[in-house]
Chain A
Amino acid sequence: NAGVTQTPKFQVLKTGQSMTLQCAQDMNHEYMSWYRQDPGMGLRLIHYSVGAGITDQGEVPNGYNVSRSTTEDFPLRLLSAAPSQTSVYFCASSSGSLLGTDTQYFGPGTRLTVL
């Protein structure tokens, strides 16, 4: 198993550009989520999905879109990049137990810089 993979590892964008951060998992996990990590602010949930075709907003969803057309993939789209979106982005997945008794597996992260 590759686990959770994220591409690209690094990206530099100009303000106003759009891009998609890719996330894929091969563990047949139902639950997937995107976080951003900023110094002193810990991990903040952007969007999450409890299964294919179902997504919901986290605490910082503005400026980001997601879709979940397959169980494996959960891409994160930046519609019009802003410097405030400079961050490290992590994708995570788990089997999706309602009680949260399962482990969340994290990807290696994407370091995004918006100029």
Chain B
Amino acid sequence: AQSVTQPDIHITVSEGASLELRCNYSYGATPYLFWYVQSPGQGLQLLLKYFSGDTLVQGIKGFEAEFKRSQSSFNLRKPSVHWSDAAEYFCALWVTGNNRKLIWGLGTSLAVNP
């Protein structure tokens, strides 16, 4: 069965510290993976996506993610967090075929201490 797991429900980091948000997936075919961010009271915005090729993907707002097939992971990273990065982060997997759709993780809530 297809699934996306985000092991960390809530993470708190200090401003300027590095960040890594974890995402694990289960899927029998080639995964197409996404990270979205949701600021408080807002809709979702795409940070980055992976389809093929280079396993290190660059996104907006200084984020990057690394796809590791052997670990079924697609972790999101940022070298230095800003207070404005406080938000909810969602990892998602696109399931191909006739019933194509996104499978979502439950999200990780990021708090940033000044």
Which residues of A are interface residues toward B (Cβ below 8 A)? 4, 31, 33, 40-45, 48, 50, 56, 58, 90, 92, 98-101, 103-104, 106-109
A99 touches B102 (CB 8 A): no
Q: Are A42 and B100 in contact (CB under 8 A)?
A: no
Identity of the chain A residue whose Cβ is nearest the Cβ of B106 in the assembled complex: A42
Dominant SS at the B interface? strand
The reply on B90 being an interface residue by CB < 8 A is yes
A42 lies within 8 A of B43 (CB): no
Chain A residues closer than 8 Å to B106, beta-carbon distance: 40-42
Q: Would B100 and A101 count as touching, CB distance under 8 A?
A: no
Known: A99-B32, A101-B51. A106 touches B101 (CB 8 A): no
Chain B residues near A107: list those with CB within 8 A: 43
Check if A106 sits within 8 Å of B44, measured CB to CB: yes
Q: Which 10 A-B pairs have the closest CB atoms?
A: A100-B94, A106-B43, A42-B106, A106-B44, A43-B104, A100-B32, A103-B46, A108-B43, A42-B104, A42-B107
Kindly list chain B residues whose C-beta atoms are within 8 Å of the C-beta of A98. 96-97, 100
